Amino acid sequence: MFLSLSPVLYLLCFIFLFRQIFTTDPLYGSHQLSLILAGAVAIWQRRNIHHAKQAFLLAWKKNFLSVWPAMEILLLVGILIGSWADAGVLFSMIQLGVRVLSPEFFLPGVCLISGIASLISGSSWTTAGTLGVALMGVGQVLGVDESICAGAIVSGCYFGDKLSPLSDTTNLASSLTGVPILDHIFHMAKTTIPSFFAALALFYGANLFVVVGGTTSHTTDLGFLGFGSEADGFINPSLIPIMLVFGASLFRVPPRYSLLLGIFSANWISFSLGHNIGSVLTSLSFGFASKTGNESLDILLGGGGVIAVFPTECLILSAVWFGGALEGLGYLQELLHYLRNWIRKKADVLLATMGTSFLLNLTTADQYLSLVIPARAYRNLADHYELPSKDVSRALEDSGTISSPLIPWNSCGAFMATSLKVSTFSYLPFVWFNIIHITFAIFTAFWNRKKEK
């Protein structure tokens, strides 16, 4: 058992070690190095097994192909943010957000708005990479700590993602277990909605300390954002790209095409404002560099571009290397074998499903694997114990979907950190919806296990 779990222990040791050595954001080297070294040690331990090299390469290729769509979306979001910053879309969204969001209800409002947007679009990534970026800007204007603001956004994004019939993970969990999509959503709502209301209550309580107590110095002078000018209407041409992105998502246009629509429409606005093609391409590649003369405003309105997501792409590839070692050399199969032998009750199937989903999120870069593998691994046991399929589908999402943004090297955690410009470890303590929901799901499973004879 220890040898099967040893690569994960190596990874945690390397992460702790490099956190002490490197003082920069873990996204810029330490996590990548930890994953590569832990994977190398895992490969070295199994160097003598038959066809070790071929097994590793086959697993690496399979994992790479599974995360490639996520890497593609991440690249497009980096370009999207650069194009929106260049066209003034982010500027307009921040203006609108400051005017609409009341400081007294800012954090719960951010969480609720993110949840509604994610519910409509069916994508936590689209919401975080567009609306989430603007909400982070509004939070900065109001003087809100960036970590708790990011936690509110991620909480809302994943609440909406779970309950949206347009969500890819919701549809995947439904199809894997053979549960009709609406039955799956209604069954999830029994635990998801109470968890979300509890998170909103916590954000409201935190809001009293982090926003209301500090609004004076940040909101008395908003002239640098252009407030008060007659051109500041709610109907602003700069808001057209975000309407197109969410409108396309609503009509189930694939994410890559809705993001491309947002990029091209923003570029059209840039050209109409007189920007030359060189400056636009620079913003798409290296990010937009704001030059207002106000340092805080320049940081707020700049960023994006291909170069901004490059460290995250490297992190995902490093996780694919580590996951390939675990899957190709038999570590994961051994752990699944131990878990299957441990199951004695109906509730054990749910606990094993959730544990396996979390382990796969921890050891691979792809949340889809955290849904597919447990659903297949425990299908026969679920049938043997006559476990309702909707319980299994909910367990998959309670762990696989909800825990994915909490792990820095998972594609979801890396995406959220890159889009919101806040490291995963920084926002992790404040993703209250996800934390409450996971705790609630585990407690419920153990409670049901205790009641079983």
Average pLDDT over residues 251-263: 87
In this predicted structure, what is the pLDDT of residue 149? 95
Do 259 and 415 contact (CB within 8 A), yes or no? no
pLDDT of residue 430: 96
Q: Give the pLDDT band (50/70/90) at residue 220.
A: very low
What pLDDT score does 265 carry? 92
Residue whose C-alpha is closest to residue 170's, from 155, 192, 152: 192
pLDDT on residue 172: 86
> Does residue 194 surpass a pLDDT of 90?
yes
Instruction: Please give the pLDDT value at position 27.
Output: 63
- Residue 218 pLDDT exceeds 70: no
Confidence (pTM): 0.83
How far apart CA 357 and CA 128 sit, in angstroms, is: 23
Q: What is the mean pLDDT of the chain?
A: 84
| Angle made by CA atoms 243, 249, 251, in degrees to the nearest 5 | 105
Q: Identify the residue whose tokens are 């675990």.
A: 326
User: Could you tell me the two tokens for 406?
Assistant: 């909490």
Specify whether the CB–CB gap between 137 and 93 falls below 8 A: yes
User: What pLDDT score does 296 carry?
Assistant: 66
The pLDDT of residue 219 is 46
Statement: residue 233 has pLDDT above 50: no
Contacts of 436 (CB under 8 A, 6+ apart): 195, 198, 199
* Other residues' Cβ atoms within 10 Å of the Cβ of residue 318: 21
Mean pLDDT of 12-41: 80
The answer, yes or no, to whether residue 98 has pLDDT greater than 80, is no
Handedness of CA 328, 331, 332, 337 (dihedral sign): positive
Q: Residue 108 above 90 pLDDT?
A: yes
Residues 412-417: what's their mean pLDDT?
90
Q: Average the pLDDT over 240-262 and give the result.
A: 86
The answer to whether the CB of 25 falls within 8 A of the CB of 423 is: yes
pLDDT > 90? residue 32 = no
* pLDDT confidence bin for 116, thresholds 50/70/90: very high
Q: What is the pLDDT of residue 114?
A: 93
